[in-house]
Structure 1
Amino acid sequence: MLTFIGLGLFDEKDISLKGLEAIKNADMVFAEFYTSRLMGSSLEELESLYGKKVNLLLREDVEISPDWLAEAKDKNVAFLTGGDTMVSTTHVDLRLRAKNLGIETKLIHGSSIASAICGLSCLQNYRFGKASTIPHPYTSSRGVTVISETPYDTIKLNKEHNMHTLVFLDIDKDKGYMTVNQALSLLLQVEEKRGEGIMENAIVVGIARAGSEAPVVKAGYAHDLKDEDFGEPLHILVIPASLHFIEAEALVGLLGAPSEILEGLDD
């Protein structure tokens, strides 16, 4: 049996009772923290809570050579991820591999940034369109710095359909955790290049350390929030479309957005 367990948003206390019980009953425990990680906990703190050794997997151990899967043929194996399990395509692929090996699988869900973002940003959950990820820029073979324009296109498409955009920020083992500031700077650079007005007067919401005791959540114009201090990772960004009056009032009253965004809104 292979049990996929989502650990929640921030620290070791976010796990469900069902998930904790499954880990304690497991013969072996594996985890990957390259798609997401619990910034409020260390591996040692997790092991202390579980009373079990946690075998930390690298990307290649999950995506290329998951030889450890064979352990689940005759043992109870727990596979841990940050957030909610199965949100990443990588985990779906792993479940398919397990099925092809004749291994039974089970899912135990955890709190996810995909749902938490709605409460933190005060934006209505059914108004979110396609999500996107802003990757770190890279240097081409010709020595040119390349900034991906795909996130900009996703935001543009969602705005055309009056949908909000959830923007994940890159986690890179060499370049580190992308910040809201870096993400907005990249989007504004694409805006300057293309001049399409998507980000020029855009209200955005920046969020840091969702699930912690003191998350930072700020709303404002992109060019203003670019210089705000959001503190330690993980960060995430939301680009709203047009605002319902309740959304706008919440952004102003709770998240510090400029009151002028309330002008001209219908009740």
Structure 2
Amino acid sequence: MLTFVGLGLFDVRDISVKGLDAVRRADAVYLEAYTSRLMGSSVDEMEQVFGKEIRLLGREDVEQHPDAVIDRARDGDVVFLTGGDPMVSTTHADLRIRAAEAGVPTVIVHASSIQSAVCGLSGLQNYRFGKSCSVPFPAAGWFPTTPLATVRANLDCGLHTLVYLDIQPDRYMRVPEAVGLLEEMAEATGQPAPDLYVGIARAGSESPVVAAGTADRLKAFDFGPPLHILIVPADLHPVEREYLETFAGL
């Protein structure tokens, strides 16, 4: 049995009782830590609370070489931990398909996700979000502009855009940097830059930070430590505007 367990948004306390039960009865526990991170808890703390050894998996372990996880799940109970909700990332869906093809039964234990948390923190209505996108760190000779194209397409349809920010082993993209990159994309492509942004830091913690405003305001705003995420809103409903004025300083 392979059980996908979501860890939630911020720290070890976010796991559900059902998820904790699955971890504690598992024969082996793996943690995928490349699509999201629990910034409020270390792996050592999770091992102490869960009472289990946790084996870390990199992107290649999950996407290219998942046989070790699947083979272990043939003969025992295996838990695959992820930040947020397990099936938000397509790489997890692919692993579940591979397990099914190998004859391994699977179960999902859901948890809080940034996709729903941003609605509560920003007040932006969940049914008004279009396709999401990710802003990666640029590299030498590589500066993709597709994130801005996604944002512009959503804006043309009156839809908000959830913009995921790059996570790498040694650095985390922050809202001011992401806003600056979107502005660079606009300059490079001749497309208009967004007029309004909403930045969120440390969703799920006891002190999340939410700020809304122009590019200049958010680039100068101190959001504090990661994880950060960005929203580009479309035209605001009156209730959305009032919410952002009340809770995000719009």
The amino acid that maps onto 1:55 is: R
Q: How does 1:1-267 map to 2 (within 5 A)?
A: 1-66=1-66, 67-140=68-141, 146-174=142-170, 176-199=171-194, 202-257=195-250
Q: Structure with the greater relative contact order (CA < 8 A, sep ≥ 6): 1 or 2?
A: 2
Contact 1:147–1:186 (8 Å) recurs in 2: no
- What TM-score does the superposition give when structure 1 sets the normalisation length? 0.91
Tell me the C-alpha RMSD between the 2 structures.
1.0
Flag structure 1 segments of 5+ consecutive residues without an equivalent: 141-145, 258-267
Moved more, 53-62 or 14-23: 53-62
What SS does the aligned partner of 1:138 have? coil
- Give ranges in structure 2 of 5+ residues lacking alignment: none
Secondary structure of the structure 2 residue equivalent to 1:35: coil
Deviates more, 1:57-66 or 1:69-78: 57-66
CA distance in 2, matches of 1:84, 1:256: 29
AA aligned opposite 1:20: L
**How far does residue 222 in structure 1 lie from its aligned partner after superposition?**
1.5
Give the secondary-structure state (helix, strand or coil) at the position aligned to 2:88.
coil
TM-score by length of 2: 0.97
Q: Deviations over 1:1-57 (max 9, x none)?
A: 000000000000000000001111111111111110100000011011111111111
With 239-248 and 63-72 compared, the bigger mean Cα shift is at: 63-72
Shift of 1:189: 1.2
- SS in structure 2 of the partner of residue 86 of structure 1: helix
Give, as a single letter, the amino acid of the residue that structure 2 aligns with 1:222. A
Shift of 1:193: 2.9
- Give the AA of the match of 2:101: N
Does structure 1 retain, via aligned residues, the 8 Å contact 2:122–2:247?
A: no
Structure 1's consecutive aligned runs of 4 or more residues displaced over 6 angstroms after TM superposition are none
3-state SS of the aligned residue for 1:116?
Answer: helix
